[in-house]
Structure 1
Amino acid sequence: MKKLILVNGIPASGKSTVARVIANELHLPLLSLDEIKEPFMVQLCDTIDRTLNRKLGYAAYQAMFNIVQQAPKNSTIILDAWFGFREKSRLQEYITACDIQHTLEIWNAISPERVAERYQARVHKRIKGHPGDEYLPELMALAHQAHPMSIGKCYTVDQDKDINYQELIQWIKNHLD
Structure 2
Amino acid sequence: MKTLILVNGIPASGKSSVAKIIADYFSYPVLSIDKIKEPFMVQFADIIDRPLNRKLGYAAYESMFNIVMSSPPETVFIMDAWFGFRDKSVLEGYLEKLGEVRVLEIWVKASPDLVAERYKQRCHCRVKGHPGEEYIPELILLAEHAKPMCLGKLYTVDQDISTSNDELIIWIKENNWRN
Aligning the two structures, in what range does the TM-score lie when normalised by the shorter sequence? over 0.9
Query: Percent identity of the aligned residues?
Result: 60
What is aligned with 1:90?
90
Q: Which residue of 2 aligns with 1:118?
A: 118
Q: For 2:97 and 2:3, how far apart are their aligned partners in 1?
A: 13
Matches within 5 A, 1:15-34: 15-34=15-34
The letter of the residue matching 2:154 is C
Aligned positions of 1:57-76 closer than 5 A: 57-76=57-76
Cα drift, residue 118 of structure 1? 0.4
Deviation of the 1:161 alpha carbon: 1.5
Q: Which runs of 4+ in 1 moved over 3 A?
A: none
Give aligned pairs, total.
177
Q: Does 1:129 align with 2:126?
A: no
Q: For residues 45-99 of structure 1, give each alpha carbon's deviation from its aligned partner in whole angstroms, at most 9, with x where no partner exists.
A: 0000000000000000000000000111111111000000011111011111122
Give the letter aligned to residue 67 of structure 1: I
Q: TM-score, normalised by structure 1?
A: 0.98
The residue number in structure 1 matching 2:9 is: 9
* Separation in structure 2 between the aligned mates of residue 89 and residue 151 of structure 1, nearest angstrom: 11
1:19 and 1:103 map into 2 onto residues whose CA distance is: 15
| Counterpart residue number, 1:161 | 161
- The 3-state SS of whatever aligns with 2:108 is strand
SS of the aligned residue for 1:91 comes to helix
Partner of 2:99: 99
The TM-score with structure 2 as length reference comes to 0.97
Structure 2: which 5+ residue stretches go unaligned? none
CA distance in 2, matches of 1:101, 1:126: 33
Aligned alpha-carbon RMSD (Å): 0.7
